[in-house]
Amino acid sequence: MFLKIQDLKKSFGQGENRTEVLKGIDFSIEKGNICVLLGPSGSGKSTLLNIIGGIDSPDSGVVSIDGDAMSDMKEKALTLYRRQHLGYVFQSYNLIPNLNVKENIEVGAYLSKSPLDIDDLMKTLGIYEHRYKLPNQLSGGQQQRTAIGRAIVKNPDILLCDEPTGALDYHTSKEILKLIEDVNSKYGNTIIIVTHNDAIKLMADQVILFKDGHILKEYKNETKVPAASLEW
Amino acid sequence: MKNPLNKRILRLLKEEWGKYLAIFLFMVVTIGFVSGFLVADNSMLTSYNQSFEKYNIENGHFELYQQANQQLLNELKKEDVKIYRHYFVEEKTKEVKSTLRIFKQNKKINKVCVMSGKLPQNDHQIAIDRMYATNNHLEIGDNLTLKNKKFKITGLVALSDYSALFSNNGDMMFDAVKFGVAITSNKAFDDFGQSHLHYSYAWRYQKQPKNETKEKNLSDDFLKVLNSKTVIKEYTPHYLNQAIKFTGDDMGSDKAMIVVLLYILIVIMAFVFAVTTNNTIVSEASVIGTLRASGYSRKELLKFYICLPLIVTVIACIVGNILGYTLLKDVCAGMYYGSYSLPTFKTLFNSEAFILTTIIPFILMLVINVIMISYKLQLSPLKFLRHDFKRKQTTKTLPLKRLRFFHRFRLRIIFQNIPSYLTLFVGIFFANVLLMFGMMMTPLLNHYQSEVEDNMISRYQYVLKAPMPTDTQGAEGYYATTLKAMHSQSNDEISVYGVKKNSDYVDIKWKNNGVMISDGYSDKYQLKTGDTITLKQKYGSKKYKFKVAGVYHYPAALSIWMNEKQYQDTFDVYAPNGYFSNHKIKDIDDRCIATTITKDDLTKLSRQLDVSMGQMFYLVDAFAIILFALLIYLLSKIIVEKNKNAISMVKILGYENKEINRLYLTATTWVVVISTLASLYLSRVVIDAIYRAMLADFSGWLTFYMPSTIYIKMFVMTMITYFVVSITQMRRIKKVPMDEALKNVND
């Protein structure tokens, strides 16, 4: 298994205010798969994503990627790990306002020794003709495409998407999901999508349902529905 | 691949050009002035130091009551010194109310530097000191009448042994307005006669002493020999000669003060930069969180955020130094030429000035920004993504429930912006120290002048060369001598007076034991009733101990007062050597009068300080106001920008601009008012300490005085400045669009 999670626990607060967000999570993901973490708000899925992304730490348990346990990593090693293996896409696009589309993607490319061809990537993402525009001149969908471009230009092993369509309308959301699907098939990255949109589970290889810090259900889709055909 | 974040640097500069331009200009002017000052100071100081050899400046001079005979001169030569006749006469000028000390052209010792024009060629020509000429509006071609003889001014000169125009070495300050030096031809000099002739002799050691200690030992030995062979009227070795040394010492201390001033200002600017950068980091928290989550290290982000402050600093340093070496050097040299009678100088490249005004400001900027920005960037990527900037989770909030909503809101704004407000407080405090210094000096000097005038003992105060009787009505004899103080801080000369018990001029209630001391003496050395002071002879080794019996209000000089009997017993002198009189004494030959002290003599300190530094006080005030306005502008701008989102939101809720101004600007107003009031008190404490340290080096004392109206003026000036600047912030608040809040949600 490429990504392995074992008995992961995480809680916030102290004393009476202590809340267990992850109550012993175990699962694993194969390389190149799309995995959807599905569940209502507060179920612990985003916390799990942040732990996998190395920007939050568990109270106990192990996260290992390709055999390397993250708990053994110190601050610098974690930064290097994120730099080499991970790409992040958030609900809010977090683009740099005074850099244009191409430059925002270059910000991601800078982190890799062998980044993807930026022009080619922008064409794949459908933002090539907008490459000299600043983020405030783009629509929400175009901004999210740029954010995805910034995340995958370094060709990360894992692309972490936290509610990537949360701020988008139906059509744009479908476009973005299709894009993620295309990226997966073209570059072979493992993709983990956190969402509360039930329909998205159909495009995944693997689905993990969360509730109150537990895995309620975990299964693999025998047949995936293409993102373009998803409906909600 | 170059870091693409660097592409943002110029764009950020362009977006916030107003802020960066204001800081840049302030730094350019500050660095330019300091650089210009250091270059001028160093060049002039080098030329001043070289002048000792170039103009063959004396190792000292002594004055006798009569001409030295050949036997004395021969005996003195045995002491390995070369003696030069350096006679002078002192004459009043008719055209301007002043005294000129006139020398013959001397080509061997204390040579003259001709600044413009030429030296006198005939008996009706005179060359006068350049600064004395400037202060009295005299030019080449003008006439001066001395002892009823007209002289045409042919040149403006600098006498190498009078770089500071001290008429008397014991004076607290030189006087370049009512005292000057001049050169005439030998014949014209001899024509002045002997009535005001001073038998002054300069000497130079055959082998120059290597340091001041050796020079002092040589001088002490020479004084012993001289004392044993003749009666000395005046003895001034070079190292104690204020007319020669004061300039060099002052230049040295000015340099230290100006460099400290630069660093304080750079530190304040560095804090302003750091606070603004931290504010940018807060506003870009989501982006930083994303970049950190994607693998950007803290170091990479720190490098980016520190770039702009450093670029602005480097460019400001370069431009400032160019201005310093070109335009401002002459402005600063002009300030010295306005105070001192210095010879011409050649501009020298000064590597120390370059380091002090470029490398050190850069390092200060770097260190302060690295510390403050890296502290901010210590937060985890997740905290940046969540906009959670608290290091510790606070479980309690301040209980403000009882306060009205508006008050609560403003207090929250203050707590939210503590770093900005702290920087603002430090800036206001520093600006107020400068402002207070600039504003207090003129009233202090005026007060001193009026105090001296109001407390003059008599209209004329005569010091005789030898006791002489007079029939002048109301003239009252007194005894006077000068002793040297032996306090650790300095060795001031103290005037010791012996006056009649029931004096018509000196109103002292005598006590049985001890002496009265002037309030300036008491203030300078923190002396009080019951203390014992030890003084020594000026040119001898005998020591005297006096018990302080009280303080007498006499602001003109550091002095000790005792009754006639006490003076006679102490000094074994039984005939008065001076007169207090409200009428001019006409029945004593001028040749028997050593000095006549008038109002002009007593007020020369305040007069000269006003001439030398009067304009500078206004400059300091202007600088302080600019600093204050700049800080208010930058920091209140930060607060508005930081709350742009919230301002936009309250606009959506229906608040009017007026109400929003009340919410956001009133909080800043509170801080400004409280900081100003607190800093007025603190500035007073600091100024008091600075003033004491500054005057400790002067011989004499000016009692600290600051009218309470200055506090009011300062408060009003800072408030007016604040309200002018806050208008720009009101406009900024007005410009915040209502969709700002909505836009940021979607970002």
pLDDT over 90 (residue B669): no
> Quick one: pLDDT at residue B497?
93
Q: How confident is the model at residue B740 (pLDDT cuts 50, 70, 90)?
A: low
Buried b (16+ CB within 10 A) or exposed e, A199-210: bbbbbbbbbbbb
Tokens of B613: 């530094």
Q: Which member of A99, A103, A111 has the closest CB to residue B294?
A: A111
pLDDT over 90 (residue B153): yes
Residue (of B596, B639, B620, B595) closest to B687 by Cα position: B620
B2-47 pLDDT, tens digit each: 889 999 999 989 988 888 898 899 899 999 989 998 998 888 888 8
> Quick one: pLDDT at residue B401?
67
Contact by Cβ (8 Å): A208, A29: no
CA distance A63 to A68: 8
> Quick one: pLDDT at residue B391?
67
Question: Are the Cβ atoms of A56 and B289 closer than 8 angstroms?
Answer: no
B581-602 pLDDT, tens digit each: 999 898 887 767 777 888 777 7
**Distance, C-alpha B746 to centroid of its chain:** 57
Tokens of A220: 């693999």
- The pLDDT of B525-546, averaged and rounded, is 87
Kindly report the nearest CA distance between residue B285 and chain A, in angstroms.
Answer: 9
> Quick one: pLDDT at residue A135?
93
Residues of B in contact with A167 (CB under 8 A): 746
Q: Is B286 on the interface with A (CB under 8 A)?
A: yes
pLDDT over 60 (residue B287): yes
Q: How confident is the model at residue B374 (pLDDT cuts 50, 70, 90)?
A: very high
Q: Is A106 on the interface with B (CB under 8 A)?
A: yes
Q: Which member of B8, B284, B294 has the closest CB to residue A82?
A: B294
CA distance B49 to A135: 64
Mean pLDDT of chain A: 90
CA distance B509 to A63: 94
- Closest residue on chain A to B392 (Cα): A13
Q: How confident is the model at residue B747 (pLDDT cuts 50, 70, 90)?
A: very low
Which A residues, 196 through 225, put their C-beta within 8 Å of a C-beta on chain B?
none
Kindly report the nearest CA distance between residue B743 and chain A, in angstroms.
Answer: 9
- The pLDDT of A10-36, averaged and rounded, is 90
> Quick one: pLDDT at residue B489?
58
Pairing of strands B532-537, B476-485: antiparallel
pLDDT over 60 (residue B403): yes
A41-45, A102-106, B324-328, B606-610: least confident range: B606-610
- Closest residue on chain A to B380 (Cα): A55
Residue (of A62, A189, A56, A141) closest to B289 by Cα position: A56
Count of C-beta atoms within a 10 Å radius of residue A144? 29
Q: Which member of A98, A109, A151 has the closest CB to residue B1?
A: A109
Q: Is B380 on the interface with A (CB under 8 A)?
A: yes
Question: Are the Cβ atoms of B5 and A98 closer than 8 angstroms?
Answer: no
Question: Are the Cβ atoms of A109 and B289 closer than 8 angstroms?
Answer: no
pLDDT over 80 (residue B534): yes
Residues of A in contact with B385 (CB under 8 A): 55, 90
Question: Are the Cβ atoms of A103 and B289 closer than 8 angstroms?
Answer: no
Percent of chain B residues topping a pLDDT of 70: 96
Q: Which member of A92, A107, A150 has the closest CB to residue B5?
A: A107
Longest dimension (CA), chain B: 103
- The pLDDT of B83-112, averaged and rounded, is 92
Residue that is written with structure tokens 């060369």 in the block: B465
Which residues, listed in sequence order, are joined to residue B158 by a DSSP beta bridge?
A: B113
Residues of B in contact with A109 (CB under 8 A): 1, 4
A96-110, A175-189, B592-606, B644-658: least confident range: B592-606
CA distance B213 to B239: 10
User: Which phi and psi angles does B206 have, rounded to 5°?
Assistant: -65, -40
> Quick one: pLDDT at residue A133?
94
Question: Are the Cβ atoms of B295 and A93 closer than 8 angstroms?
Answer: no
Count of C-beta atoms within a 10 Å radius of residue B300? 18
> Quick one: pLDDT at residue A28?
93
- Closest residue on chain A to B3 (Cα): A110
The 3-class secondary structure across B87-135, one letter per residue, is: CEEEEEECCCCEEEEEEECCCCCCCEEEEEECCCCCCCEEEEEHHHHHH
pLDDT over 70 (residue B566): yes
Q: Is B392 on the interface with A (CB under 8 A)?
A: no
Q: Is A172 on the interface with B (CB under 8 A)?
A: no
Distances (CA, A) of B69 to B65, B80, B227: 12, 18, 15
- The pLDDT of B724-737, averaged and rounded, is 86
Kindly report the nearest CA distance between residue A222 and chain B, in angstroms.
Answer: 32
The set of residues, in sequence order, having a beta carbon less than 8 Å from that of B537 and lying 6+ positions away, is: B483, B484, B543
Percent of chain A residues topping a pLDDT of 70: 100
Contacts across the A-B interface (CB distance below 8 Å): 86
Tokens of A110: 């800078």
Tokens of B41: 């100071």
Question: Are the Cβ atoms of B1 and A87 closer than 8 angstroms?
Answer: no
* DSSP secondary structure letters along B307-372: HHHHHHHHHHHHHHHHHIIIIIHHHHHHHHHTT-----------HHHHIIIIIHHHHHHHHHHHHH
Question: Are the Cβ atoms of B7 and A103 closer than 8 angstroms?
Answer: yes
Contact by Cβ (8 Å): B480, B538: no
> Quick one: pLDDT at residue B407?
79
- The pLDDT of B721-733, averaged and rounded, is 87
Residues of A in contact with B286 (CB under 8 A): 90, 92, 94
Kindly report the nearest CA distance between residue A101 and chain B, in angstroms.
Answer: 12
**How many residues in chain B?**
747
> Quick one: pLDDT at residue B343?
82
Question: Are the Cβ atoms of A110 and B286 closer than 8 angstroms?
Answer: no
Q: Which member of B294, B296, B382 has the closest CB to residue A56?
A: B382
- Closest residue on chain A to B745 (Cα): A92
Kindly report the nearest CA distance between residue A141 and chain B, in angstroms.
Answer: 11
- The pLDDT of B166-174, averaged and rounded, is 78
B208-230 pLDDT, tens digit each: 888 878 888 898 889 889 988 88
Q: Is B152 on the interface with A (CB under 8 A)?
A: no
Q: How confident is the model at residue B746 (pLDDT cuts 50, 70, 90)?
A: very low
Q: Which member of A53, A84, A106 has the closest CB to residue B293?
A: A53
Q: Which of A110, A132, A146, A155 to mutate to test the interface with B (most CBs of B within 10 A)?
A: A110
> Quick one: pLDDT at residue B549?
92
Question: Are the Cβ atoms of B294 and A108 closer than 8 angstroms?
Answer: yes
> Quick one: pLDDT at residue B741?
60
- The pLDDT of B312-329, averaged and rounded, is 92
Question: Are the Cβ atoms of B295 and A111 closer than 8 angstroms?
Answer: yes
- The pLDDT of B671-678, averaged and rounded, is 91
- The pLDDT of B191-198, averaged and rounded, is 87
Q: Which member of A84, A108, A140 has the closest CB to residue B746?
A: A140
Q: Is A187 on the interface with B (CB under 8 A)?
A: no
Q: Which of A16, A56, A92, A192 to mutate to test the interface with B (most CBs of B within 10 A)?
A: A92
A66-119 pLDDT, tens digit each: 888 887 788 888 899 899 889 999 888 899 988 999 999 999 999 998 899 999
Q: Is A151 on the interface with B (CB under 8 A)?
A: yes
B694-712 pLDDT, tens digit each: 777 666 788 888 999 999 9
- The pLDDT of B400-424, averaged and rounded, is 78
Q: How confident is the model at residue B322 (pLDDT cuts 50, 70, 90)?
A: very high
Residues of B in contact with A101 (CB under 8 A): none
Mean pLDDT of chain B: 86
Tokens of B312: 């602005």
- The pLDDT of B664-681, averaged and rounded, is 88
> Quick one: pLDDT at residue A130?
95
- The three-state secondary structure class of B387 is coil
> Quick one: pLDDT at residue B743?
58
